[in-house]
Structure 1
């Protein structure tokens, strides 16, 4: 397994910081709340990607465009965990809608 899942016990409106540099990659104070740092590989929700690096997308079995075109049929967690990226962390947090989650990938 190339990834490690880390469930976060936080609310949907809490900031999320990078485990390496401590920058808030989800920062609700900012107008653009997505603030990826150099360690961020992707920020995704069950309904699609908010951010993804080219390096990570190239390791996925399907392109982001393909996933977004078929978002009603996609299991986002399954898609990101099938990546061949060598080692990465996935922070999983509640999205605020029942049954939906946010996934943030960081370099290990």
Structure 2
């Protein structure tokens, strides 16, 4: 497990771009605001996943289905950082509700 955490200083309604290719991963101008690029491993919130690649899910200690079934006991950040994926970046941003965050995982 080797990840780099980048805490974004953005509002919950701001777009978020991939630092590699500059594609807007979170794009509020689109009806489907989740727009993963080729570098995106996952897009998660403290309350569950919005997107995840099979490649990343296979490195997690619990499946997405297990996590969603037990979301009342979920610590998303702990689950993500316990992954055995070799190297990745986690961009953390405010979700707009007190104490809740969005996490965007990207290849390093």
CA distance in 2, matches of 1:37, 1:74: 26
Equivalent position of 2:46 in the other structure: 46
Equivalent position of 1:96 in the other structure: 96
SS of structure 2 residue aligned to 1:80: helix
Gaps of 5+ in 1: none
Q: 1:47-83 CA deviation, whole Å, 9 max, x = no partner?
A: 0000000000000000000000000001000000000
Equivalent position of 1:35 in the other structure: 35
Task: Give the TM-score of the pair, scaled to structure 1.
Answer: 0.99
Equivalent position of 2:63 in the other structure: 63
Task: Give the TM-score of the pair, scaled to structure 2.
Answer: 0.99
RMSD: 0.5
SS of structure 2 residue aligned to 1:77: helix
Query: Following TM superposition, by how much is the alpha carbon of 1:89 offset from its aligned partner in structure 2, in angstroms?
Result: 0.2
SS of structure 1 residue aligned to 2:41: strand
Shift >6 Å, 4+ stretches: none
Gaps of 5+ in 2: none
CA distance in 2, matches of 1:19, 1:61: 27
Aligned residues: 108
